[in-house]
Amino acid sequence: MQHLLHNIKNNFLGILVDMLYYRCAKAYRLCEFACLMNALTLVQPRLGPYLQEVGYKRWSRSYSEGRRYNIMTTNILECINVILVKERELPVTALAKEIRSLLDLASHIVYTVLDGDKNGVVDLQEMTCSCRRFQLEQLPCAHAMIAIRHSKIDVYDFLTYAGVVYPLPHQGDWVVPNVVRDVKVLPPDIRSVSGRQRKSRIPSVGENA
pLDDT (tens place) for every residue of the chain, 209 residues total: 677 877 887 777 767 888 888 888 888 888 899 999 999 888 888 888 888 888 888 888 888 876 654 444 445 666 777 778 888 788 888 888 877 777 666 555 788 998 888 899 998 888 899 999 988 888 889 999 999 888 888 787 777 555 567 788 888 888 889 898 899 888 888 877 777 777 777 777 766 65
Residue count of the chain, please give it: 209
DSSP bridge pairs for 123: 128
Q: How far is CA 200 from CA 5, 135, 165, 209, in A?
A: 18, 36, 34, 10
pTM: 0.40
